[in-house]
Structure 1
Amino acid sequence: MARVLYVTIPAEGHVNPTLGLVKQLVDNGEEVVYMNVEPFRHRLAQTGAEFRAYPINEQLFVELGLSPTEYTHPHHLTEFVLRGMIEPIIPEVLRLIENDSFDYVIVDSLFGWGGAILGEKLGIPLICSATNFVFDKPVSHVIKMKEADDNLDVEALCERLTDTAERVALACNVAVPTLDDITRQYGQLKVVFTSRYFQPESEKYDDSYIFTGPSISPRPDDPLFPLEQLRSQYNKVVYISMGSILNKDIEFYKLCFEAFKDIPAQFVLACGRDTDLSTLGEDIPHNFMIKPYVPQLDILQRADAFITHAGMNSASEALYYSVPLVAIPLSSDQPAVAQQAEKLGAAITLDKEKLTTEMLKLAVLKVLNTPIYKQRAKMVADSFRSAGGYQEAADRIMSLFSKV
């Protein structure tokens, strides 16, 4: 069997979808070395893969001052990918594996050109691990941007990127890419953790794109939760989780409390480990259960609606269990995910900048009381389940690249 290197970026939404595939590869006899940052060690070791940590300079992200909510130009994402990810991580990965040999490498799509570097330097087939939608253009050109900043010095930004790309190319002894090529999705195969039905414009993508559906696998590290209480007082359950960007927005939570206080449903709010709602006291309605972190898959299997930022991972998990969305996208690919779910009739999308108590209330009531949303969510769920999952992805990969 083959020896596999799997490298992903240090983010929940890019690691969790890969767990089922990695475990399946291991169970099928592949020897997988998985590289990410130290906090993911225990979770990834449970798949049976050998875990190796690469270092990450968190101060660098502070210095870059980059957040997806602040991008005003496509090359801001290019800078995040190049200076924040490729330059500090890819040479370290190469150093940490310099005495190893592998048969193929799977690299997170957000590494862009960094994945191409690994494939070229190792001289082995490259597979792209796409936990978001795939695009026929550089990712930097498809994410949502803030209104253009008239004070942005685009020439200086491009010069900074060119200098960095030349520096990385020299260090790795590879050709210098164009700026647009830095955020392209590379690989002979692309493993895409969604279905062709949910992927926008899926007719553009040939059979080198393996649409597996989302990888839903058990999470033994999930916290305990009194699931038996979810329907002890109400027949409907609404789950609220806004990911890592919006989960500290106390004003948004106040809006939710006001909008839903009189709705006869059990609301479950995952507010994040670093969000303190204790100051709100009596403002929290009686029909809310609030936890820093919840077993999301368990909650979604019992939910009737999901209020979400429409991150790809969370939205896919909800739709997998036929749960319609009230989507409030903020940045990155979230608007694209929300738009596609709404296009397929499985979501209502709201604008965070124009959000009011009444709008939020009406959207939730419409999703809860209009059966078509549940029916359309089930159509997406059926497409996910028929896509073959991580078992199909593992079989396709191994049929092409494994040693017999």
Structure 2
Amino acid sequence: MARVLVVITPAEGHVNPSLGLITELVKLGEEVVYVCVEEYRSRIEQTGAQVITYPFLHDAFSHDPILQPLEYSHPYQFIHMVTCGIIPKMIPEVLRVIENQAFDYLIYDSLMGWGGQILAEKLGIPAVCTISSFALVEPSGLHDKPIDTEELYEAIMNTAQKIASELQVSLPAVEDMMAHQGALNIVYTSRFFQPRADELHDRYCFSGPSIIPRQDAPAFPLDLLREHPRENVYISMGTILNKNLEFYKLCFDALKDLPINVILSSGKNTDIEPLRELIPDNFIVKPYVAQLELLQYTNVFVSHAGMNSVSEALYFDVPLVMIPMTSDQPFVANRVQELGAGIVLDKNNLHASDLREAVMEVLGNSVYKNKAHLIGESLRQAGGCDYAAAAIMQQFAKV
């Protein structure tokens, strides 16, 4: 039995995919210590792992000016967010709470970038990198656009040099700060869905999405759907950028009076009361829904194209209408559209008529459903948590 340190960026789309893998490793006899924030303690403890927490600004990715998601037009913007935002806020705290403890290997989240390499170097142990979006084929994973990068580069390197000096670790080149450096890299998608998968070496393990029930998710009142047996459209914009009441009003205007059920997940921290009287009769608005359960009854998913949500939809053969907002969402959305399983809309030029037309197109054209099924089959056949855990055990576990 090996002692495993798990450190994942404290965000829904990164913690949730890790839970199935950790559950399997615990079942296989590994002693897992999962370091995260208090907000995720309950769901992590359900895996059987020991939880150690550290302080981190609640809802940081919505409120912290460095961590707030952006539309990245140059790789340095993303590297800056990680190196100047995530690493200095996470890594010293993680090292503090595990001081004097020994581990056999590390599992870290790719969003930590160089931070995962720092932990592995400080502890003197090999590492597994888990990737909750697409793996980066190019070192940066983004395409350069002509913007002034001198200030960004200087900020990145000044912060990185300070971190390297304080923690006494080696300093990588800026282009290597987000490279997947795990001795094994677990990618929560299929080789079919991954763009340019043939360019990735054999240290990449494509296990498909981690689909396990959320014990803390409320059961969805399916009887509300049975009262009106018709096609179901589900709308969710994730957990970070879900407080846009104007967007919800647009959804009401776009889809009211249609012979469909519309389920809108508004977000646990969104005050929907100002819109209460505007909610159409064919809408069901909840602050939080059991997404995995609801997707099994969904005909079209209107989504921000976060990788976790997209993967879960496609796993259940649900085609999408996508309105990408930030970060990797445009890349994910474009890949879905490229493979024919959905339509991408422009958030900067979005009208109710656009959303209505896209939803009705996907509902009425079986090609989208068929293409979603094709991707979904590749995700279901990828191997899942069992496959990922076995790959880790084969490479790292003690005999």
Question: 2:121 corresponds to which residue?
Answer: 120
CA contact 1:271–1:290 (8 Å) conserved in 2: yes
Q: What SS does structure 2 have at the residue aligned with 1:69?
A: coil
Question: 1:36 corresponds to which residue?
Answer: 36
Q: What SS does structure 2 have at the residue aligned with 1:10?
A: coil
Structure 2 residue 173 is matched with structure 1 residue 178:
yes
- Looking at structure 2, the residues matched to 335 and 25 of structure 1 have their Cα atoms a distance apart, in angstroms, of 33
Question: 2:398 corresponds to which residue?
Answer: 403
Q: CA deviation at 1:245?
A: 4.1
Residues 126-145 of structure 1: matches in 2 within 5 Å?
A: 126-139=127-140, 141=142
Question: 1:263 corresponds to which residue?
Answer: 258
Q: CA deviation at 1:228?
A: 2.0
Question: 1:244 corresponds to which residue?
Answer: 239
Deviates more, 1:332-341 or 1:74-83: 74-83
Q: What SS does structure 1 have at the residue aligned with 2:34?
A: strand
CA contact 1:34–1:49 (8 Å) conserved in 2: yes
Q: CA deviation at 1:71?
A: 4.6
Q: What SS does structure 2 have at the residue aligned with 1:90?
A: helix
TM-score normalised per structure 2: 0.95
Q: Deviations over 1:339-377 (max 9, x none)?
A: 111111111111111111111111111111111111111
Structure 2 residue 350 is matched with structure 1 residue 355:
yes
CA contact 2:113–2:179 (8 Å) conserved in 1: yes
CA contact 1:110–1:185 (8 Å) conserved in 2: no
CA contact 2:235–2:262 (8 Å) conserved in 1: yes
Q: 1:346 to 1:86 in 2, by over 3 A?
A: same
Structure 2 residue 15 is matched with structure 1 residue 15:
yes
- Looking at structure 2, the residues matched to 99 and 92 of structure 1 have their Cα atoms a distance apart, in angstroms, of 14
CA contact 2:320–2:341 (8 Å) conserved in 1: yes
Q: What SS does structure 2 have at the residue aligned with 1:230?
A: helix
- Looking at structure 1, the residues matched to 64 and 307 of structure 2 have their Cα atoms a distance apart, in angstroms, of 27
Deviates more, 1:228-237 or 1:374-383: 228-237
CA contact 1:75–1:140 (8 Å) conserved in 2: no
Q: 1:359 to 1:120 in 2, by over 3 A?
A: same
CA contact 1:77–1:140 (8 Å) conserved in 2: no
Structure 2 residue 287 is matched with structure 1 residue 292:
yes
Deviates more, 1:45-54 or 1:180-189: 180-189
CA contact 1:231–1:237 (8 Å) conserved in 2: no
- Looking at structure 2, the residues matched to 285 and 73 of structure 1 have their Cα atoms a distance apart, in angstroms, of 41
Q: Percent identity?
A: 51
Residues 56-135 of structure 1: matches in 2 within 5 Å?
A: 56-57=56-57, 64-69=65-70, 71=72, 73-135=74-136
- Looking at structure 1, the residues matched to 6 and 187 of structure 2 have their Cα atoms a distance apart, in angstroms, of 15
Return the letter of the residue paired with 1:13. Answer: G
Question: 1:369 corresponds to which residue?
Answer: 364
CA contact 2:71–2:325 (8 Å) conserved in 1: no
Return the letter of the residue paired with 1:128. Answer: C
Question: 1:213 corresponds to which residue?
Answer: 208
- Looking at structure 1, the residues matched to 8 and 220 of structure 2 have their Cα atoms a distance apart, in angstroms, of 30
Q: Where in structure 2 are there 5+ consecutive unaligned residues? A: none
Q: What SS does structure 1 have at the residue aligned with 2:233?
A: strand
Q: Where in structure 1 are there 5+ consecutive unaligned residues? A: none
Q: What SS does structure 2 have at the residue aligned with 1:275?
A: coil
Question: 1:197 corresponds to which residue?
Answer: 192
Deviates more, 1:273-282 or 1:20-29: 273-282
CA contact 1:234–1:264 (8 Å) conserved in 2: no
Q: 1:142 to 1:49 in 2, by over 3 A?
A: farther
Deviates more, 1:279-288 or 1:63-72: 63-72
- Looking at structure 2, the residues matched to 82 and 54 of structure 1 have their Cα atoms a distance apart, in angstroms, of 19
- Looking at structure 2, the residues matched to 239 and 311 of structure 1 have their Cα atoms a distance apart, in angstroms, of 15
- Looking at structure 2, the residues matched to 68 and 105 of structure 1 have their Cα atoms a distance apart, in angstroms, of 27
Q: Deviations over 1:315-356 (max 9, x none)?
A: 100110000000111111111111111111111111111111
Question: 1:335 corresponds to which residue?
Answer: 330
Q: 1:9 to 1:195 in 2, by over 3 A?
A: same
Q: CA RMSD in A?
A: 2.0
- Looking at structure 2, the residues matched to 196 and 178 of structure 1 have their Cα atoms a distance apart, in angstroms, of 29
Question: 2:183 corresponds to which residue?
Answer: 188
Deviates more, 1:180-189 or 1:266-275: 180-189
Question: 2:267 corresponds to which residue?
Answer: 272
CA contact 1:78–1:140 (8 Å) conserved in 2: no
CA contact 2:83–2:159 (8 Å) conserved in 1: yes
Q: What SS does structure 2 have at the residue aligned with 1:246?
A: coil
Report the count of equivalent residues. 398
Q: CA deviation at 1:87?
A: 1.7
- Looking at structure 2, the residues matched to 219 and 393 of structure 1 have their Cα atoms a distance apart, in angstroms, of 20
